[in-house]
């Protein structure tokens, strides 16, 4: 059975993965909070990313730069002038919409009738204005709309207390600029040699107008970005680009366990690509609302370092330790939204079966690896034995939940929806012979295991997939 976005949203609310932000006040547009299970899943994704891209690689280092940077950063990067989306306004409701999205919906509705065969991404703002006028495109409420205008996505705020002394700063629109502005520091303070990359995970902010895609597109989100620097004279950028594409693909398919048939590459067209980029691809996932960008990879040339060198008047060139030659490194950027990985994983894992809803998360991503239950909650000897097993697992660093509410059936249902791969039930035999029942979430099969073997059983199963790859 197909999973809809409504299935995901209601599961997330019911089980404590995601809640609407400020819900008691009626919510805040395109903003979500991560609940007790959601934060665990997010952390697991980030830890896996960090492990694969930073810890395990000799050619990568990490960074954690600020959300507020010197405002000149965003002038140099071009965001102040050109980080914008084409917007139109509904003349009656004054609601704003992305012009490209309205055109896309119109094309979708008129598919086949007009033999319209072009990509919205190819259109300039003036072309969009023409297209909207020619086809009399209206707002979703069927009202007249204004001409499209560029709308900057950067959030502005101010540093300083006294109004006259305040200066404008921006909440970062991407984490990448903190990497470029620290390039010199990293080279000077570490042993990195080209080619090498700097990666960081952190919050970014964009004044997005489109809403209704759950955590896919939010005002505040988390990015995991890599800037991979290299010498363009001794490195074939196309080969390097391809190898990064393969690495991204492997992470999504092998590490996160995503079904290949829901993934595809899309090359950006010339007019869609940023002016400084020589090549850009999106790794797209088939979300319930269509194929959408999960992870972008772009060859940004030496544009950013050059811009920062010019605006800061500081030398940002790299000196080759062997040849002594100085030059500006070029860069390839694989940039992903952690929240889009999160949504993809939920979509890929949620299964509706005849009588149950199961979140088949890979064990290493599951918020809890095991749930422990006493068969019944009102028998102190069972509760005591179950507590012993619970402590055994917790002390072995196995993420374990405790549940003694309701009956076993309800507890299984709750564990299935929470994505917990194994449930351990303690019954009277457990007291007699120290064996417990372990139930597998995906197969619902139960096996009897000795308490003393539990830790190694779960550890082996947690790492089984890694060994198979
Ligand atoms: P889109 O075309 O969907 O707006 P983008 O091309 O502007 O995305 P990038 O600037 O390439 O996105 O940012 C890198 C990654 O950050 C994206 O691939 C996406 O995963 C994530 N991302 C960007 N904007 C958002 C957002 N508003 N909410 C959640 N994730 C985002």
Q: Does residue 77 have its Cβ closer than 6 Å to ligand 1?
A: no
Q: Which two tokens stand for residue 372?
A: 């422990």
Q: How far apart are CA 339 and CA 8, in angstroms?
A: 14
Mean pLDDT throughout 365-369?
97
CB proximity list for 266: less than 8 A, separation 6 or greater:
281, 282, 284, 291, 293
Q: Quick check: 90 and 145 in contact, CB under 8 A? A: yes
Place of tokens 């694969």: 52
Handedness of CA 216, 300, 225, 173 (dihedral sign): negative
Q: Does residue 206 have its Cβ closer than 6 Å to ligand 1?
A: yes
Mean pLDDT throughout 110-117?
60
Lowest mean pLDDT, pick from 23-27, 40-44, 155-159, 312-316: 155-159
| Residue whose C-alpha is closest to residue 299's, from 251, 338, 335, 247 | 335
Q: How far is the CA of 174 from the centre of ligand 1 (A)?
A: 9
Substitution site in 175, 205, 296 for ligand 1 pocket (most atoms within 8 Å of beta carbon): 296
- For residue 115, the model assigns a pLDDT of 47
- Percent of the chain's residues with pLDDT above 90: 75
Helix axis angle for 5-15 and 408-418, nearest 10°, is 120
Q: How far is the CA of 265 from the centre of ligand 1 (A)?
A: 15
Q: How far apart are CA 207 and CA 13, in angstroms?
A: 25
Q: Does residue 213 have its Cβ closer than 6 Å to ligand 1?
A: no
Q: Which atom of ligand 1 is nearest to the CA of 292?
A: 3
Q: Does residue 336 have its Cβ closer than 6 Å to ligand 1?
A: yes
Mean pLDDT throughout 140-155?
88
Q: Please state the φ and ψ torsions of residue 43, each to the nearest 5 degrees.
A: -60, -40
Asked if residue 1 has pLDDT above 60, the reply is: no
- For residue 468, the model assigns a pLDDT of 54
User: Where residue 104 falls among pLDDT bands split at 50, 70, 90?
Assistant: confident
| Residue whose C-alpha is closest to residue 430's, from 373, 368, 370, 371 | 373
For 305-339, write each residue's pLDDT tens digit.
Answer: 999 999 999 999 999 999 999 999 999 999 999 99
| Residue whose C-alpha is closest to residue 345's, from 63, 75, 37 | 37
Q: Does residue 218 have its Cβ closer than 6 Å to ligand 1?
A: yes
User: Where residue 97 falls among pLDDT bands split at 50, 70, 90?
Assistant: confident
CB atoms near residue 15 (< 10 Å): 19
Asked if residue 423 has pLDDT above 70, the reply is: yes
- C-alpha distances out from residue 261 to 30, 49, 265, 282, Å: 29, 22, 12, 16
Q: Which two tokens stand for residue 145?
A: 């709309």
Q: How far is the CA of 358 from the centre of ligand 1 (A)?
A: 29
pTM for this prediction: 0.90
Asked if residue 467 has pLDDT above 70, the reply is: no
Q: Does residue 202 have its Cβ closer than 6 Å to ligand 1?
A: no
Q: How far is the CA of 99 from the centre of ligand 1 (A)?
A: 18
- C-alpha distances out from residue 200 to 124, 182, 441, 463, Å: 33, 12, 34, 26
What's the burial of 158, exposed, middle or buried (CB within 10 Å: 0-12/13-18/19+)? exposed
Q: Which atom of ligand 1 is nearest to the CA of 341?
A: 20
CB proximity list for 202: less than 8 A, separation 6 or greater:
64, 65, 67, 172, 175, 178, 222, 223
- C-alpha distances out from residue 79 to 123, 283, 354, 357, Å: 20, 23, 50, 44
Asked if residue 116 has pLDDT above 60, the reply is: no
Q: Which residue has the higher pLDDT, 282 or 95?
A: 282
- For residue 164, the model assigns a pLDDT of 67
Q: Whose CA is nearest to atom 11 of ligand 1?
A: 296
């Amino acid at each position: 059975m197909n999973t809809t976005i409504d299935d995901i949203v209601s599961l997330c609310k019911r089980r404590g993965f995601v809640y609407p932000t400020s819900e008691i006040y009626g919510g805040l547009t395109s903003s979500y909070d991560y609940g007790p299970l959601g934060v665990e899943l997010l952390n697991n994704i980030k830890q896996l990313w960090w492990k694969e891209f930073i810890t395990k690689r000799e050619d990568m280092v990490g960074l954690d730069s600020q959300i507020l940077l010197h405002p000149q950063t965003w002038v140099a990067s071009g965001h102040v002038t050109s980080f914008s989306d084409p917007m139109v306004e509904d003349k009656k409701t004054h609601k704003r919409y992305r012009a490209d999205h309205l055109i896309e919906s119109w094309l979708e509705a008129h598919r086949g009738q007009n033999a319209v065969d072009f990509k919205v991404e190819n259109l300039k703002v003036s072309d969009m204005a023409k297209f909207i006028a020619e086809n009399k495109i209206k707002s979703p409420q069927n009202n007249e709309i204004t001409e499209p205008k560029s709308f900057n996505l950067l959030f502005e705020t101010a540093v300083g207390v006294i109004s006259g002394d305040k200066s404008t700063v921006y909440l970062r629109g991407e984490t990448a600029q903190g990497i470029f502005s620290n390039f010199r520091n990293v080279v000077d303070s570490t042993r990195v040699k080209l080619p090498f990359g700097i990666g960081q995970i952190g919050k970014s902010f964009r004044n997005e107008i489109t809403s209704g895609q759950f955590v896919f597109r939010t005002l505040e989100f988390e990015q995991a970005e890599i800037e991979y620097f290299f010498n363009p004279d001794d490195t074939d950028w196309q080969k390097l680009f391809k190898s990064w594409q393969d690495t991204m693909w492997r992470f999504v398919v092998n590490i996160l366990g995503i079904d290949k048939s829901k993934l595809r590459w899309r090359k950006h067209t010339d007019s869609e690509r940023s002016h400084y980029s020589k090549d850009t691809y999106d790794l797209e996932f088939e979300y319930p609302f269509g194929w959408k960008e999960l992870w972008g990879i772009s060859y940004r040339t030496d544009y950013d370092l050059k811009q920062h060198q010019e605006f800061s008047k500081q030398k940002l060139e790299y000196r080759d330790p062997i040849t002594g030659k100085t030059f500006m490194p070029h860069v390839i950027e694989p940039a992903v939204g952690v929240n889009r990985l999160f949504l993809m994983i939920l979509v890929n894992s949620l299964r509706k079966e005849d009588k149950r809803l199961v979140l088949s998360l890979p064990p290493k991503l599951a918020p809890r690896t095991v749930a422990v239950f006493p068969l019944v909650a009102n028998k102190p000897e069972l509760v005591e034995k179950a507590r012993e097993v619970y402590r055994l697992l917790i002390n072995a660093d196995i993420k374990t939940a405790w549940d003694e509410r309701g009956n076993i059936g309800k507890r299984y249902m709750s564990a299935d929806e929470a994505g917990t791969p194994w449930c351990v039930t303690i019954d009277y035999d457990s007291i007699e012979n120290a064996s417990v029942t372990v139930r597998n979430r995906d197969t619902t099969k139960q096996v009897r295991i000795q308490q003393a073997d539990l830790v190694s059983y779960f550890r082996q199963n947690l790492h089984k997939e890694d060994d198979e790859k």
